[in-house]
Structure 1
């Protein structure tokens, strides 16, 4: 399966995620929904937040030029919100998955389950 198919089928195709992307831990773009764009500096801060979330706790998580308010994190996940939209970010061995939800169409918990499930699968496959 191509990386784009993971975004199109396993994330967006569920109806639980409004837009998504998969990036390599080196910052390379592997797959993305049309119109989704994260600046290199934003992605760098996101990747660093998996190991130390202090910066995003204090200053917020900027994605696509928007400030998302930090909700919580663990070693493999970061969650943030802006109004009625939010984002679930999951780190695997080689990649970062970013999945957005819009509460007018999706539920935060369902988006989280879908993104985390794909992250778990990719980790189990060595990615």
Structure 2
């Protein structure tokens, strides 16, 4: 399965995620939903800071495709952001980082289950 298929079929097709991307831990976007453009600086924060300096991410928030989220949780396993009716889950695997946004009326818990399930699968197959 291609990386784009994971974004399209495992995240977006569920109806519980509205925008998504898969980043490599070494940098670069492996796949993303149409029109979801993460700048180089935004990618750097996710890859280099989000899981190594959680206090910094909690203090500064997380900007994704130009939209700033308030970070409500940041640790080595997950970053969770919210602003208004939007939210985001950022979950690392062994070699990749999943970024998945959702909008109301989607519930945070429903989106989280979808993203965590894909993250667990990728970890189980070495990614």
TM-score of the aligned structures, taking structure 2 as reference length? 0.94
Q: Deviations over 1:43-62 (max 9, x none)?
A: 11122211221111111111
Counterpart contact for 2:24–2:96, Cα < 8 Å: yes
Alignment partner, residue 52 of structure 1: 53
Q: Deviations over 1:63-105 (max 9, x none)?
A: 111210001123121000111001001101110111100013x
Matches within 5 A, 1:71-86: 71-86=72-87
* 2:118 aligned with 1:109: no
Matches within 5 A, 1:91-106: 91-104=92-105, 106=106
Counterpart contact for 1:24–1:95, Cα < 8 Å: yes
- Describe the SS at the equivalent of 1:27: coil
Matches within 5 A, 1:1-127: 1-47=1-47, 48-104=49-105, 106-127=106-127
User: Where does the alignment leave 5 or more consecutive residues of structure 2 unmatched?
Assistant: none
Give the alignment's Cα RMSD to 1 decimal.
1.0
Q: Where does structure 1 differ by over 2 angstroms across 4 or more consecutive aligned residues?
A: none
Counterpart contact for 1:72–1:79, Cα < 8 Å: yes
Counterpart contact for 1:27–1:40, Cα < 8 Å: no
